[in-house]
A and B are shown apart, each in its own frame.
Chain A
Amino acid sequence: MAEDIKGKLERYRTAPFDSRFPNTNQTKNCWQNYLDYHRCQKSLESKGVDVAPCDWYKRVYKTLCPISWVEKWDGQRDDGTFPGKI
């Protein structure tokens, strides 16, 4: 499973089509991947497992989310004011 993700990451071009978000509005796609990366990181770190599989979500949210949004959310997480549940 980790090898699959590593392979996918090596062949990564851009965020692929996600059938959960088939329409014009991709806001939730960016938000969901941002959340999924940080949740994945938090849960794998707490188990002491390698966090490399989480990198898929990181690549996708870096592709989709505007840099200003990511910076804002990172700041909010540091301040403890991030509105999402991680």
Chain B
Amino acid sequence: MDQYPRLPGASAEAKAEWLRAIRDFHFGRGGAAHPALSWRPAAPATCGLVVPAASADPTAPLRELLEVARTEVPARREAFATQLRTLRDGLADLLAVEDQRDPGPERLRASVGAFGADLVDASALDGILGAQRGSMRVDGRRRQRIEQALAVFARYLDGGGPPLLTVLHTEAGREAVPAMQGLVAELAEDPCRAALRSFDAAAERFCEVVRALRTARLEVTSSYDAERHDPWIATVDWETLSAEELSLVPTIVAVDSASRLTGEAMPGWSRLLASGRPVQVLALASPVHDPEQGLDAVFSSYRVELGFLGIGHREAFVQQTSTACAEHLREGFRRALGGTRAALHVVVVEPAPLSVASRAHPLFRYDPDSGGSWARRLDVSGNPDPELDWPVTTLTCLAPGGRAKELELAVTFVDHALQESALTGEALVVSDEYRSDDLVPLADYLRLDAETAARRLPCLWVQDEDQDLHRAVPTRRLTQACRDRLAFWRSLQELAGIHSEHVERALERARDEARQGREELEAQRAAELEQVRSEAVGQAAHLLAATLVGVGVEDLVGLAPVTAPAVPVSTPAAPAAAAPAAAEAEVPAATATISSEPWIETALCTSCNDCRNINPQLFVYDDNKQAKIGDPSAGTFAQLVKAAEKCPARCIHPGQPLDPNEKGLDKLIARAAPFNR
């Protein structure tokens, strides 16, 4: 500790001079050589971030995606294949039945065997069996359709199936592609454009199977109607597939760097996401410093949010995540592969979730399948301390007396940025000698209004190898980059419903209304109380007066100023049993209708055919196969009477004879009488 720079004297001028140097450094005007900043502990580390020694595996995202595909896809494919096999067997049965129809003498002879051949005349048998009955024949076109479908099924079922993932990548992206079974990689100049073409080709191959499947479904139920179904089958393309079918189209993944995707490769992925094709875009992000883009990109502009641009496509699935948040990453992949949307995965490859903990790369998931509103679609859970600007970490350090002390520190973007070797020079440790309120912890600094901030400097805590704490001042440009991260995090928070100004305003309004309502209620209660009190006083006075003049209290009923509760006038209640009795009385009694027309109580007909066997024109069946009178002039009165007598349901009423000249009418009318009652 002896090389510690000392503040010469405690004079105001000296202090101002030190401050000037720190300011110069902050604003990028030099100053770094000043004793205020020149001392550096051997191994300074920003506080709160534990930086792992191991580096991350660049193939981790695709490995994980493949793993998810492995748990989801084969079962789906198997269920589909089972469907196909059932249909295939159904179609094969159809053809087999067809082939059995005309067995021919040869086959018959073979089927009865050597022993039967002597006993059975196969040609004669063939003559008998040739006569077919029952189901429809399979004509030429139908056979062709069936055979075509069978061939497609065979190709699909015996083909071993497409790879689980087809990955398109640039030369630079090669290192992200693991050599694993189930994954096929192809080099492409623009992976997103190539993915679109790849998907269309894979979808077309799959649609051929779907066409065969649709045809087969219709064929096995013998309901293929060429006129209607030929054009329908012909229009099958990926957009007509059901969600379940679409999820079976082989998965295509375009891998590219986030910096290319926000630059020259933008049109390709944008078109892909807008097209609705369920293709996966894997964007590999370096949220602090992208070596492809140089240092300038960190400071020179507001960062373009690739994930946000993805959300702008509105109907695509978008997630921003990190390989260090394995569960979050996996869940996003699971949803993307389980859905039928284009998906953009902006993933940081890192051994520990530093970029998440520092809000450099907050986790989020935008899933249009979750509902129609932002609240349902956008999910920022998984971020540490999502309610706060910056996550808080607790640090144990030694206080001057040697006692351990707990310190709560905000972890900011700067803490993370300083871990990058290219950025270590963006903050310098300030001599402990220099104590001043001008240095404000960064998180607080960023909350200051512009005017106050102009008179202060941000600082953060760093620790040396002895775990002693020191303050460091970041450069202005790094501070601004940090401010930009905070602004983005706040907009994410607001969209996800955390600290939403809309909500806060609505809450305030509701509180106001509630307060107002309560006040009104209290005023009303007070008024009521007052009324009751004055009435009670009035009543008491009234009673008192009455007693004084000698009127009995009971005589006062009705005179009292307070309204007595109305006593209901009770009438003897009708016995409960009377109600159903009355209901029953309303039922029309079996009236003795004497109709001159013949008629049938159709609802009672048991379809026994007896009447129709007598005269099928006179008695006809309705839609329900129950009898009614058809053409009354098509039969005789004698037939009506006979039918009435036969009818086991006794529902035929012959009425009066139409033809007064019919023979034996007297007797018939007498026989009809019991059925006309």
Tell me if chain B binds chain A: no
Interface residues of A (CB under 8 A from B): none
